[in-house]
Amino acid sequence: MKVQVDSTKCDAYGLCADAAPQVFELDDFGYAAVRNGGVVQDEDKAAAEEAVRACPVQAIRVLED
């Protein structure tokens, strides 16, 4: 699984990093970036999918399953 954050949509809610801190990190202003180039380890997949659902502005895109 691979994910990407659309920085034009991200509104710094921070819910993705709460749901999947292994996958997303926040900058000093609360905007999200992916860790590890967006590659999600198998054991983090459920958390990443939860982050996708949690984002209030649908800023997280799944590139590969």
- Binding-site ranges for ligand SF4 (CB under 6 A): 5, 10-16, 32, 54-55, 57, 59-60
CB of 48 to ligand SF4, least distance (A): 11
Specify the residue, 48 or 59, whose C-beta has the smaller distance to ligand SF4: 59
Identify the bridge partners of residue 4 per DSSP, sorted by sequence position.
61
Separation of alpha carbons 10 and 7, rounded Å: 5
CB of 32 to ligand SF4, least distance (A): 4
Q: Would you say 44 and 22 are in contact if contact means Cβ atoms under 8 Å apart?
A: yes
Separation of alpha carbons 11 and 29, rounded Å: 10
CB of 65 to ligand SF4, least distance (A): 19
